Amino acid sequence: MDESWDLTFAVVKAWFSVVVTFIMLPAMFGVSLGITELYMKILVKTLEWATLRIQKERKKQEVLNASLANGIIQRDDGSMEQEIGELRRCRPKSLAGGEFTLSDIFYFSRKGIESIVEDEVTQRFSSEELASWNLLTRTNNNFHYISLRLTVIWGLGVAIRYCILLPLRITLAAIGLSWLVIGTTLVGLLPSSRMKNWLSELVHLMCYRICARALSATIHYHNKENKPRKGGICVANHTSPIDVVILANDGCYAMVGQVHGGLMGVLQRSMVKSCPHVWFERSEMKDRHLVTTRLRNHVADKEKLPILIFPEGTCINNTSVMMFKKGSFEIGGRIYPVTIKYDPQFGDAFWNSGKYNMVSYLLRMMTSWAIVCNVWYLPAVERQEGEDAVHFANRVKSAIARQGGLEDLSWDGGLKRAKVKDTYKEQQQKKYSSMIVGEDSSD
């Protein structure tokens, strides 16, 4: 019995020694030993080989060589006037415009059926479709054949991901979170000074870098000269809860969010001791004036870290950017837009909160091959004279979408859990009535 315990202790000791020496310490100081780069090269070669094997087995189908459409319905890009005009071409000239024609019904019927089958909103809350198989459980709908050799490779990949990568990543995540709680608590005991701020930023950076290694994250940062600075607001598109880890690997931010209980609450209470994060109680979140005031006071202090905000308010599936809430753009100060774009070939970073809880989601992340993404820092922008918060938010959103090659949508991501507002319906009704009576729809 004693021998078995000695053997177990020796194995655990060796395991932690390897993790701390070759992964944790280099991660804490932002140093790479080349292990991740070697792993990614082997992974890329393996996925390329798998893709070629699939293509050989499916010579008659060219699905893999074609780019996938965004959905199963191909929609026209024309306006309401153009599409209704197409339907009226077969009508007598006397009915060509200025009054209602029976054929107009087909336009609204088609739009209704398209929305029932596949609307622009709900398809943004499902996993991004892949053009090929990445040897993970999820694949594209067009893939039906797996050769014997591919099946063996897939089985080997399952063993590697669950028996080697998962324990390693759980160990790193536990170390990173433990160090975050201990480090921030100790720094919080120090009196306010520049030294305390420097130590706080150092502790946060170290912890987030360890957590990034726990996801085998490979992050490419572009245009670092535009990085958010103190006294500003960083806004970014939102795909996953790990967006915070991705951005905080390259700089420290003041987080904004609701106070939680459990493990998240422990982390929040320890973090706020060393850094002025902005946490709100549930009742306070409903008070817009209070929220705006606290954020405005934070931004006014040029010595405080930039605030990190995700104005969409919910996670979108890495294909588009949806409506930005205007509250973040009413605070004032300089806005630093950031675009985050994940590579779905190595793992699906999107969190479908309606399908997976946080534990299930993190398990999927830690059993994927890796998290690979690009981060672009865009030039800082300020609200122009005479520009309201809505137009300012849309301008920033368009810049973020354009940089990441994402689709720019005006829909509110809150429709994921709520019904369409009556104002959206009224807009379409007014547009059609204006067209019928011959008035300008913009009036």
For the chain, the domains span 169-425
Phi, psi of 342, deg, nearest 5: -90, 150
pTM of model > 0.75:
yes
Give the lowest-confidence range in 69-78, 338-347, 354-363, 404-413: 69-78
Which residues are within 8 A (CB) of 26 and not within 5 positions of it... i.e. 6 or more apart?
32, 33
> Beta 335-342 vs 371-377: how paired, if at all?
antiparallel
* Token pair recorded at residue 11: 């194995």
Please tell me the distance from the alpha carbon of residue 377 to that of residue 102, in angstroms, as a whole number.
Answer: 52
DSSP tag of 323: P
Q: What is the largest CA-CA distance in the chain?
A: 98
Helix ranges (H only) for 72-165 are 80-88, 104-117, 148-160
Q: Which residue has the tokens 């729809």?
A: 441
Alpha carbon separation from 352 to 193, 240, 348 (Å, rounded):
42, 9, 10
Least confident segment among 30-44, 106-120, 216-230, 396-410: 106-120
**Other residues' Cβ atoms within 10 Å of the Cβ of residue 137:** 10
Residue 143 has pLDDT above 60, yes or no: no
Compute the radius of gyration of the chain from its Cα atoms: 26
* Six token digits for residue 382: 């300020």
Work out the mean pLDDT of the chain and round it to a whole number.
78
Among residues 418, 370, 339, the alpha carbon closest in space to that of 40 is found at: 370
Q: Which residue has the higher pLDDT, 152 or 372?
A: 372
- Show the CA angle centred on residue 117, arms to residues 116 and 121, nearest 5°: 75
Average pLDDT over residues 426-438: 66
Q: Does the pLDDT of residue 336 top 90, yes or no?
A: yes
- Residue 222 vs residue 89, higher pLDDT: 222
- Of 141, 133, 126, 66, which Cα lies nearest the Cα of 320? 126
Query: Which residues partner with 234 through β-bridges?
Result: 308, 336
* Percentage of residues in the chain having pLDDT higher than 90: 17
Q: What is the mean pLDDT of residues 24-37?
A: 73
Check if the beta carbon of residue 133 is closer than 8 Å to that of residue 145. Answer: no
The pLDDT score that the predictor gives to residue 381 is 93
Residue type, 160: I
Query: What six digits make up the tokens of 183?
Result: 């480090």
- 14: confidence class by pLDDT, cuts 50, 70, 90: confident
Q: What CA–CA distance (Å, rounded) separates 89 from 131? A: 39
pLDDT of residue 325: 87
Q: How do residues 103-136 score in pLDDT, each as one tens digit?
A: 666 666 666 666 555 666 666 777 766 766 777 7
Instruction: Report the helix count and the strand count for the chain, using DSSP H and E.
Output: 15, 9
Provide the token pair at 53. 């094997």
Question: CA 135, CA 254: separation in Å to the nearest integer?
Answer: 38
Answer for the pair 410, 323: CB distance below 8 angstroms, yes or no: yes
Q: Where are the alpha helices (DSSP H) in 228-379?
A: 243-248, 262-274, 282-285, 288-300, 358-366
pLDDT digits (tens, 9 = 90+) for 220-279: 999 999 999 988 999 999 998 899 999 999 888 988 877 777 777 788 888 888 888 888
pLDDT tens digits, 131-141: 667 777 655 55
Whole-number pLDDT of residue 436: 65
**Exposure string (b/e) for 213-230, b if CB count within 10 Å is 16 or more?**
bbbbbbbebeeeeebbee
Instruction: Give the pLDDT of residue 63.
Output: 46
**Are the beta carbons of 341 and 374 closer than 8 angstroms?**
yes
Taking 70 as the threshold, does the pLDDT of residue 407 lie above it? yes
Q: In the structure encoding, which two tokens stand for residue 141, read together? A: 């709908």
